[in-house]
Structure 1
Amino acid sequence: MDCIKQPSSNESTRSKISKTFSKCIHPQTPSRFPPNPKLRTLSEELNISLKDFKSEPKLTRTKSQRSNSGDLAQQEQAARNKAAKEALVAKLFASLSSLKAAYAELQSAQFPYNNDAIQSADEALVSELTVLSELKQRYLNKKLDLPPPHVTNLLAEIQEQQSNIKTYEITMKQLEWKMEQKDSEIASLRKKLEDTTKTNKSLEKRLNSSGVLFPLPNNTPLNELNQCHFIRVLHFVLRSLRHFVKQLVREMEVKNWDIDLAAKAIEPNAKFVKSKHSIFAFESYVSQVMFDGFNHHTFYLPDEGTKQPLKPQIFFENFRKLQSLTPSQIFTQNPRYPFAKFCRGKYLKLMHPKMECSFFGNLDQRKVVSSGAFPATEFFSLFAEMARRVWLLHCLAFSFDPPAVAFQVRKNCRFSEVYMESVAGEDDVISGDVTAAFTVVPGFKIGKTVVQSVVYLSPAKR
């Protein structure tokens, strides 16, 4: 017979507590009593509170996420719009650069005229205007659906750089074309200058050979002779003198002479304002040699002190006779004529043997001149023509009564506008007091008329 085991006191106590707690959680309401809606069981209270506890944070997170996602979407849209506008502006500037290049090409094709290039440039111009019109319509209609902005910006920058390079190339071609035009003009002007120089030399040779060099008609009577005739002849003398000096300096340059040092040897105390003024020292040297003895009726020629009469009529007749002859004709017709002696003496005095040997490599020309002959060289022909004009001026000077006399200004004397004239003109601008550094060409007195001496000016020494 089985034994029934009685529950212990502890187990009975736990079961009672469990039943009591279960009744509290799940109360059994009798069917005859309706449920009260105001009363909530603990489980309902716990369920509600748990539901609220689980659902409330979820609702809060959803709202914040929605607000944040909306802001991000707006920011992204604004960024996309900004990038699209920047891309549109970049494309606009690129199109303007292309338009500029096309217009430059159109202008370049017109000078010189190129029909094919003009049509091509015109088509490119119309195409770029069309692109600009499309960009305008896109902007007005707010259709900025361009390719990715960074790609558009990159392509626009490449297009702009290419257009700028094309514009620079067109400009460079235009400048090269203009340079070619200028070069052709320079070549043409040089050719004209050479032709004019040759013509002038030919005319000068013809004038020298014909002897028609002075504006004094042969039928001019002695009693109508005046100072204007003397001044005209003097101007022709100075032109020949300067022409010879230029040839003299040119020979020095060919032989690599130091022109400034040679000028300093002639006028050691002179200070030239400009380097080109050194030629005035050579003009001074030549004029001093050629006009030395001008105031004497025979030019101090040897053995001519008493043979030459002092009558103005005789000097005037000599002037008329000699002005129609060339130096070579005078030498050939009468080698013993005073002019031949004058020409030989002035040449041997003017041309130092070392200078002549440097120019021509020998002294053959000097020997020919010393023998009384006329060397057939261009250099001596220039000198002889200058000497002939000085001799004719001397004859004309003694045709006056009293004779015209030459005067020379002392060095470093105060400048006087009555007796002096600056050789450099406007180039010789010196502030303050000035003095005559040296005389370039002597002055002349014809009765009461004074022909100014030509001097080179320098600042006055204090």
Structure 2
Amino acid sequence: MESTRVTAPPKFGTLARTFNKILHLHRSVNISANGAGVAPEKDDYSIPKLKLSQNFSEHSSILSEGVSEFYKVEHEKQPQNLSSSEIEAMESLLANLFASISAIKAAYAQLQMAQSPYDPDSIQSSDLAIVSELKRVSELKHSYFTTDFIIPHTSFESQSALAAQIEEQRNLIKTYRITTNKLKADFKLKDSEICSLQFELLEAEKNNRTLESKLHPGRSLSALDGLHPSGLNPTHFLSVLRFTFKSIQSFVKLMVKEMESAGWDLGAAAGAIQPDVLHCNKPAHWTFAFQSYVCQKMFSDFHHKSYNLAAMEDRSMWGWRQFFDEFTQLRYVEHIQKLSQHSAIANFFRVKYLALVHRKMELSFFGNLDQRAIVSSDQSFPNSAFFAAFAEMARRVWLLHCLFFSFGEPESNRSIFQVRRGSRFSEVYMESIVEDKDVATAKCRPATVGFTVVPGFRVRWTLIQSKVYLLPSTSDDNQW
């Protein structure tokens, strides 16, 4: 059976030969640029001046077995030197070709840009520009095949090589600008999405605080949302004070847990701080001694605007508005690293931690002084649950301090006080921290103050009672 001879399609063969000519033409142009009159090297791929035969029956076309080569077209080649006019024509051809390709890229980029948001006018103009440039490329092709590389004055506007190169650069710049505008639009879209998500986050946090305030009254500051200085009153201060005392209780619980883990004698430790807690022989009362110790350290120099710290001396000149703005700014900032960026509160953390947590205490709890060293370094804060609990407590004390000085001048508008040991109990100035059932169990009634656990405050016309530990005594001993 005779095998059928396969002839390559004319259009495909022509395209392959065209690409070969363009590639090797660029080599010839580079050689001519390096030295006029220097003939290109003679090889099998040099471009002769010839007419492409339209009769493909004169050439054999064989389908190759390899994937990298489709057709091998044989033709007669007579190597010749290109004249200066032909070189100039080819330079102009290539420059115009690349200018058209860059124009197509720019128009296509504009077309994509016009899809979203939808712009019908821009889409139509981009489409026309693409069609126009494709026609121009087609005319360049026909000119190349029909005029022996010489570009005639055809219907399209031909340019010199330099002018075409300038046009190419302009098209590239146009493409970059379109891409930049696209990226800017994407950035604005992402930015709006971020703002939307931040708004949703704030709403979710607000709802969480509302639910938390209903579930645990006094443990959150949701009641102060949207607070304006003109609406500030002592009730707000009382809410923040309760909020602060809750964190003090939480820190004391953690501190007592560490004491137990380290094998401390809690009774002896509590008695060393406040001997009066040993009178009733109730281990539950030992916690009040530890709470008193923490409050003494945290509220020391509370009545000074600068907390009597040299590093914060500039705060002594602050007005009530600055303190209120800081309270508003830091009210919901809980992350330690964000708080460390605030120099004043970071300094407050360091001073209070070093005063509250003794070296022997930290060494007993953790077996080393690493946390103390980190705090003293002024570089960062320890990444531990113990310091995180301390930082939350210190943050709330700081917020209470800011709100305390937000009530304006004069100084008589506010004050902080504690009750001396042995003072007569007064329900006007004091509140017993011991529950009534504990007093009833002890079969005794309160008489005199043993020590102050939480100091009292006076804000404007309102007096906020101090929390005191009362010494129990029998009726025979209670003579006023």
Q: TM-score, normalised by structure 1?
A: 0.52
Give 2:428's aligned residue.
Answer: 418
Change (3 A) 1:332 1:410: closer
Q: CA deviation at 1:447?
A: 1.3
Q: Answer whether contact 1:327 1:384 (CA < 8 A) is retained.
A: no
Q: Answer whether contact 2:446 2:470 (CA < 8 A) is retained.
A: no
Q: Answer whether contact 1:419 1:451 (CA < 8 A) is retained.
A: yes
Counting only pairs closer than 5 Å after superposition, residues 134-173 of structure 1 correspond to structure 2 as none
Q: CA deviation at 1:227?
A: 1.0
Counting only pairs closer than 5 Å after superposition, residues 40-59 of structure 1 correspond to structure 2 as none
Q: Answer whether contact 2:276 2:471 (CA < 8 A) is retained.
A: no
Give 1:437's aligned residue.
Answer: 450
- The partner residue of 1:249 within 245, 253, 256 is 256
The answer to whether structure 1 residue 358 and structure 2 residue 358 are counterparts is: no
Change (3 A) 1:433 1:376: closer
**In structure 1, how many angstroms separate the alpha carbons of the residues matched to 2:386 and 2:230?**
38
Give 1:339's aligned residue.
Answer: 345
| Greater than 4 Å deviation, 4+ residue runs | none
Q: Answer whether contact 1:218 1:320 (CA < 8 A) is retained.
A: no
Counting only pairs closer than 5 Å after superposition, residues 96-245 of structure 1 correspond to structure 2 as 213-245=220-252
Structure with higher Rg: it is 1
SS in 1 for 2:389: helix
**In structure 2, how many angstroms separate the alpha carbons of the residues matched to 1:297 and 1:270?**
33
**In structure 2, how many angstroms separate the alpha carbons of the residues matched to 1:248 and 1:323?**
25
Change (3 A) 1:327 1:394: farther
SS in 1 for 2:416: strand
**In structure 2, how many angstroms separate the alpha carbons of the residues matched to 1:240 and 1:228?**
19
Report the count of equivalent residues.
Answer: 253
**In structure 2, how many angstroms separate the alpha carbons of the residues matched to 1:454 and 1:352?**
25
Q: CA deviation at 1:359?
A: 0.2
- The partner residue of 1:455 within 465, 468, 472 is 468
**In structure 1, how many angstroms separate the alpha carbons of the residues matched to 2:243 and 2:315?**
29
AA matched with 1:428:
V
**In structure 1, how many angstroms separate the alpha carbons of the residues matched to 2:335 and 2:349?**
9
**RMSD of the alignment, in Å?**
2.3
Higher relative contact order (CA 8 A, sep 6+): 1
Q: Answer whether contact 2:321 2:406 (CA < 8 A) is retained.
A: yes
- The partner residue of 1:275 within 280, 283, 295 is 283
- The partner residue of 1:320 within 317, 324, 328 is 328
Give 1:305's aligned residue.
Answer: 313
Q: CA deviation at 1:299?
A: 0.9
AA matched with 1:338:
A
Give 2:110's aligned residue.
Answer: none
**In structure 2, how many angstroms separate the alpha carbons of the residues matched to 1:299 and 1:306?**
11
AA matched with 2:459:
I
Give 1:50's aligned residue.
Answer: none
SS in 1 for 2:393: helix
Q: TM-score, normalised by structure 2?
A: 0.50
SS in 1 for 2:382: coil
Q: Deviations over 1:15-43 (max 9, x none)?
A: xxxxxxxxxxxxxxxxxxxxxxxxxxxxx
Give 2:300's aligned residue.
Answer: 292
Change (3 A) 1:341 1:434: same
- Would you tell me which structure has more helix in proportion to its own residues? 1
AA matched with 2:352:
K
**In structure 2, how many angstroms separate the alpha carbons of the residues matched to 1:375 and 1:433?**
43
Q: Percent identity of the aligned residues?
A: 46
Q: CA deviation at 1:412?
A: 1.0
Q: Answer whether contact 1:330 1:340 (CA < 8 A) is retained.
A: no
**In structure 2, how many angstroms separate the alpha carbons of the residues matched to 1:327 and 1:457?**
38
Q: CA deviation at 1:298?
A: 1.1
Q: CA deviation at 1:406?
A: 1.4
Q: CA deviation at 1:355?
A: 0.5
Give 1:428's aligned residue.
Answer: 439
SS in 2 for 1:303: helix
**In structure 1, how many angstroms separate the alpha carbons of the residues matched to 2:335 and 2:356?**
18
The answer to whether structure 1 residue 259 and structure 2 residue 272 are counterparts is: no
